[in-house]
């Protein structure tokens, strides 16, 4: 890491670590909050983001059964956040894996490696765990370690001490680069521990900046500290989703920024580095606010479409005078839109013939579509849900 690139940064300082030929430079971020220069463009960006999140929050509060719609959003975020790290999984693969149906039959494309799908599912489980844990534990270093433990369980990087902050130096750069060739070296372990303590104080403090600006600060700071051997990017993005709910910016986890970061991946990396190298907080915050506004608008559209789909299906099934449990089956598709007769049997405690009869009824109504084309082990998918969330 070239220390000259960070020499004039107001966001932190470079320190010399190690000894002799093993000596290297590392970056230690200053405590939050930084000094932020406001101008008209930044104020407008904040206003647009707040307005978009307010609309999304109102939508979430007024949905008759919003929790049914949270699952698709959580899974979409897991896929896109993991894709930034190199996994190749889509939403059909994830739902198929959860339903015990991977690899899916009847699809033209090959199935992704199971290890990729498992990583994405771990993200789902970590996020769901975090949302439940907020009832008993605020976002803190303890919760962050618990999330990391679930994220890294049994997947690539499992060797990287799941649930524990690193005890060795890590670095960021091209594959195969050495420590001294790295583009960015986070704080050495002693400085990292001090930075984490300050980070937690900021997490728990009130602060003088608006919530979304604080979230932009927090996201950068976590990336700069890079406290785990692996999984830092995913945990950092997951924290944003949890903090939006914990700070009551949103009533439900409906906003995720990974789609925006994935779409603007190079800008995302460049702007984070710009804070470290030049103290360019204003540019990073504006980018973050644009992402929040764009993704809030996107989430509102998708949530409305899901809600309309659910209402439409219920009307169809009620007009067909189906039994109550089939109405429940229709609603459950928003949690598990890919299923088999065996899955229906287990979930609703019905016989195999009864499960098949219900699946065929939903197929007749074009709510479900059979995708294997086989006579046995048939798999049905609620394609309308997947199309909305792709």
- Please, what is the Cα angle at 122 between 291 and 246, to 5 degrees? 50
| Per-residue pLDDT tens over the stretch 166-212 | 999 999 998 889 898 899 999 999 999 999 999 999 999 887 899 99
Q: Do 328 and 292 fall into the same domain?
A: no
Q: Do 263 and 341 fall into the same domain?
A: no
Percent of the chain at pLDDT exceeding 70:
96
What is the Cα–Cα distance from 89 to 114, expressed in whole angstroms?
Answer: 9
Residue 86 placed within a domain: yes
The answer to whether residue 147 scores a pLDDT higher than 60 is yes
Where do runs of H (alpha helix) occur along 32-113? Answer: 40-62, 67-84, 91-98
Q: Do 98 and 47 fall into the same domain?
A: yes
Last residue of a domain, one of 273, 302, 331: 302
Average pLDDT on 33-60 reads 95
Residue 308 placed within a domain: no
The answer to whether residue 64 scores a pLDDT higher than 80 is no
Least confident of 107-121, 197-211, 245-259, 292-306: 107-121
- Which pLDDT belongs to residue 171? 95
Least confident of 111-115, 246-250, 254-258: 111-115
Q: Do 271 and 136 fall into the same domain?
A: yes
Q: Do 109 and 137 fall into the same domain?
A: yes
CATH number at residue 74: 1.10.3290.10
- Which pLDDT belongs to residue 53? 96
- Which pLDDT belongs to residue 88? 80
**pTM strictly above 0.75:** yes
Residue 315 placed within a domain: no
Residue 360 placed within a domain: yes
Helix, strand, coil percentages in the chain from 3-state DSSP, rounded to 5: 60, 5, 35
More confident residue, 347 or 215: 215
Q: Do 354 and 216 fall into the same domain?
A: no
What is the Cα–Cα distance from 155 to 152, expressed in whole angstroms?
Answer: 6
Q: Do 283 and 334 fall into the same domain?
A: no
How many domains does the chain fold into?
2
The answer to whether residue 105 scores a pLDDT higher than 60 is no
Last residue of a domain, one of 241, 275, 302: 302
Q: Do 350 and 232 fall into the same domain?
A: no
Q: Do 195 and 270 fall into the same domain?
A: yes
Residue 128 placed within a domain: yes
Q: Which domain holds residue 379?
A: 321-389
Contact 270, 29 (CB under 8 A): no
CA distances from 264 to 88, 166, 168, 220, 221 (A): 18, 29, 31, 16, 20
Residue 313 placed within a domain: no
Tell me the pLDDT of the chain averaged across its residues. Answer: 91
More confident residue, 373 or 29: 29
Q: Do 334 and 202 fall into the same domain?
A: no
More confident residue, 140 or 371: 140
The answer to whether residue 238 scores a pLDDT higher than 70 is yes
Q: How many CB atoms lie within 10 A of CB 20?
A: 5
The answer to whether residue 104 scores a pLDDT higher than 60 is no
The answer to whether residue 107 scores a pLDDT higher than 70 is no
| Per-residue confidence band for 66, with pLDDT thresholds at 50, 70 and 90 | confident
Contact 363, 322 (CB under 8 A): no
CATH number at residue 334: 1.10.10.10
| Per-residue confidence band for 28, with pLDDT thresholds at 50, 70 and 90 | very high
């Amino acid at each position: 890491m070239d220390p000259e690139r960070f020499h004039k940064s107001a966001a932190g300082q470079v320190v010399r670590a190690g000894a002799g030929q093993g000596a290297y430079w590392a970056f230690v971020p200053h405590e939050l909050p930084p000094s932020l220069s406001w101008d008209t463009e930044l104020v407008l960006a904040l206003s647009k983001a707040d307005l978009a999140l307010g609309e999304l929050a109102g939508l979430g509060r007024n949905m008759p059964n919003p929790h049914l719609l949270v699952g698709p959003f959580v899974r979409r975020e897991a896929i896109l956040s993991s894709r930034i790290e190199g996994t190749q999984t889509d939403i059909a693969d994830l739902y198929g894996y959860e339903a015990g149906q991977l690899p899916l039959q009847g699809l033209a494309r090959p199935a992704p490696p199971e290890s990729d799908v498992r990583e994405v599912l771990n993200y789902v489980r970590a996020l769901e765990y975090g949302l439940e844990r907020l009832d008993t534990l605020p976002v803190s270093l303890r919760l962050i370690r618990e999330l990391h433990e679930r994220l890294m369980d049994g997947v690539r990087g499992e060797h990287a001490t799941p649930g524990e902050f690193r005890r060795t130096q890590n670095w960021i750069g091209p594959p195969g680069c050495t420590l001294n060739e790295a583009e960015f070296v986070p704080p050495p372990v002693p400085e990292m521990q001090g930075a984490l303590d300050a980070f937690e104080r900021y997490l728990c403090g009130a602060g003088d900046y608006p919530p979304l600006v604080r979230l932009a600060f927090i996201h950068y700071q976590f990336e700069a500290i890079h406290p785990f051997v692996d999984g830092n990017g995913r945990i950092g993005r997951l924290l944003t989703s949890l903090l939006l709910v914990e700070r009551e910016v949103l009533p439900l986890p409906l906003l995720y920024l990974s789609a925006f970061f994935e779409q603007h991946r190079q800008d995302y990396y460049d702007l984070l580095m710009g804070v470290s190298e030049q103290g360019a907080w204003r540019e990073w915050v504006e980018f973050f606010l644009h992402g929040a506004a764009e993704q809030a608008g996107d989430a509102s559209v998708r949530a409305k479409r899901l809600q309309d789909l659910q209402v439409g299906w219920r009307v169809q099934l009620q007009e067909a005078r189906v039994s109550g449990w089939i109405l429940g089956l229709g609603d459950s598709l928003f949690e598990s839109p890919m299923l088999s007769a065996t899955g229906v049997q287990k979930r609703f405690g019905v016989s195999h013939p009864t499960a098949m009869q219900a699946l065929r009824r939903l197929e007749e109504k074009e709510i479900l579509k059979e995708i294997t084309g086989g006579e046995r082990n048939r798999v049905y998918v609620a394609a309308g849900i997947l199309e909305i969330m792709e």
